[in-house]
Structure 1
């Protein structure tokens, strides 16, 4: 066999061997890419994203799109070839696996956490939107969780409304722990609750014997529940969006609700997308995967992107052509920006800058 042919054959076989090794070599990385972007003013899967009943609603136009990031699952094992392709691609991002999924977290746990965050973001979006419109929102103390094996297991249930402890009314979640810890371990405490799902406000008393705490803090009496707050709304607001998790759609949900409840057309027919967590007070918080979300928004046709202030520098480092980043810290900032957009005052928009 001629030397040149032998060398070429050896090189080819070596390349094939290296490629096989790369395909089999698992690396501790995960991949992010642009996910679906959905108009909160429109429909998804055949159903309106925002469904409001019991209050007058108004026609809307344009887009207020929430954005998402598609990520590899917690139990997916990436090979070296996939990692290299991801590093080279503009619309993909390879990150350390533990950045997205802390060590020891299973796929089921990750899905559960995302679902819980998504539910909480919807609740806060409703509160922030109604507060923006001056519509009062009520609240009540509930049993948020019951510790397995604790004295309260089987006696109290997640979702029960706590009206009083030992006959003393509770107004905030912290009242529950304060009243329980007035007891000594082994003493009885009486909860007055409205059971979850009960019709009306019929209460019942539940007597539980306290136990001694087993954590690292000072010894105290406990019953093994976590108290929380549940908001009560003056009319029904449903957010229908399947296969989405996490808290990052809060801002866009809140703006969509405001748009549907006011005669003013917030977008003026423009295509606005965005992202950001939101709390009950309307403060907008940062999210992950901002660069993938801006790419996804622009691919869908967005002209403006409402960007959490803390994500601005990262987003501005690689902004898709034709997309204007608008910095927002609160829902008020977003409302002001939308007014500027619909009235054509784009030079007045607060912009994101690098660094």
Structure 2
């Protein structure tokens, strides 16, 4: 065989081997891309996203869209060619697989955490929205709250004695006003000593809330404390939380979404529906960001994919958590203005400027 032919054949076989390797050999990466974009003022899969019952609501227009990121599932094995395409693509983001699916958690555990975070974000969004309405004197609302057992640790002293949803009125006869009070009072004991919880069972709390009454029927539960796994302090194996009693029903209906990043847009959607006029000035506003009960907006992941998804749907403004501004501004989709927000007040003020056509005053994320 002539040397030139042999060289060409060897090169061809090498290329084929590389192609096979690129297709067959998995790499430890996963892919993120623009996901679902839902108008909180409208419908999703035939259902109204924000359903409010028991309080007057007003017509809305324009958009206040929540945004999401789509990720490859836990079973998907990305190959070398796919990862290279993702790295070069404008609307794809390749990340280490461990970032989405840690080795110490199963896919089911990750999905469960995402579902819990989504549920918690909805509650925080409702609280933040109602507090904002009251603060700005847009709606006189009364928001009740009480300290509850948020979760019970399996195998701990509280298991079988306290239950998620039980209202905690006092510990050792001392009233509790926030979740940290519970841990503080328990930790005053030495491990093994007994503590007395004054609680109202969850079912009585739920029944009272349905009647719009304060829950009654407190009882004392005596528990032996135990030593914390990594600290020399007493615990009983619960996580205390705050439960709120809303003056009317607010139901958020969005299926197949997880994580806490829609909190800000849910709050704004609730406020818009409960106030006359258009909060967004009829414009297409999208955004993202976690929110807590005080209205503080927190950072999220996949910001670049969310801005792309929002712009693809037609958004011209994007409410961006302050902590994500630098990353988001590295590659701003054409026609999209990024607006920096640190809390719900910032978001409300930004929407006012959009309504009043004072967009030159918006606190924009500058292009890098």
**Pairwise CA RMSD of aligned residues?**
2.0
1:260 and 2:266 are equivalent in the alignment: no
Structure 1 CA distance for aligned equivalents of residues 166 and 322 of structure 2:
38
CA contact (8 A) 1:251 1:284 kept: yes
Q: Show the counterpart of 2:91.
A: 91
Q: Show the counterpart of 2:196.
A: 190
CA contact (8 A) 2:29 2:95 kept: yes
Secondary structure at the counterpart of residue 142 of structure 1: strand
CA contact (8 A) 1:190 1:205 kept: no
1:336-355 CA distance string (max 9 Å, x none): 11122122222121211145
| Aligned match for 1:155, one of 155, 161, 178 | 161
TM-score (norm 2): 0.90
Q: Show the counterpart of 1:49.
A: 49
Spell out the pairing of 1:343-354 with structure 2 (5 A cutoff).
Answer: 343-354=356-367
1:244-276 CA distance string (max 9 Å, x none): 111111111010000000002112221111111
1:271 and 2:284 are equivalent in the alignment: yes
- Deviation of residue 43 (structure 1)? 0.6
1:305 and 2:314 are equivalent in the alignment: no
Structure 2 CA distance for aligned equivalents of residues 180 and 17 of structure 1:
65
Structure 1 CA distance for aligned equivalents of residues 120 and 288 of structure 2:
15
Secondary structure at the counterpart of residue 232 of structure 2: coil
Cα gap change, 1:214/1:338 in structure 2, threshold over 3 Å: closer, same or farther?
closer
**Deviates further, 335-344 or 72-81:** 72-81
Cα gap change, 1:7/1:322 in structure 2, threshold over 3 Å: closer, same or farther?
same
Structure 1 CA distance for aligned equivalents of residues 233 and 183 of structure 2:
13
Q: Show the counterpart of 1:208.
A: 222
Structure 1 CA distance for aligned equivalents of residues 347 and 165 of structure 2:
33
**Deviates further, 288-297 or 160-169:** 160-169
Gap regions ≥5 residues in structure 1:
none
1:165 and 2:171 are equivalent in the alignment: yes
Q: Show the counterpart of 1:179.
A: 185
Spell out the pairing of 1:1-355 with structure 2 (5 A cutoff).
Answer: 7-134=7-134, 135-198=141-204, 199-200=207-208, 201-220=215-234, 222-355=235-368
Structure 2 CA distance for aligned equivalents of residues 270 and 193 of structure 1:
49
- Deviation of residue 64 (structure 1)? 0.2
Cα gap change, 1:206/1:75 in structure 2, threshold over 3 Å: closer, same or farther?
farther
**Deviates further, 102-111 or 177-186:** 177-186
1:76-117 CA distance string (max 9 Å, x none): 332211111111111101112223333322211211111121
> How many residues matched?
354
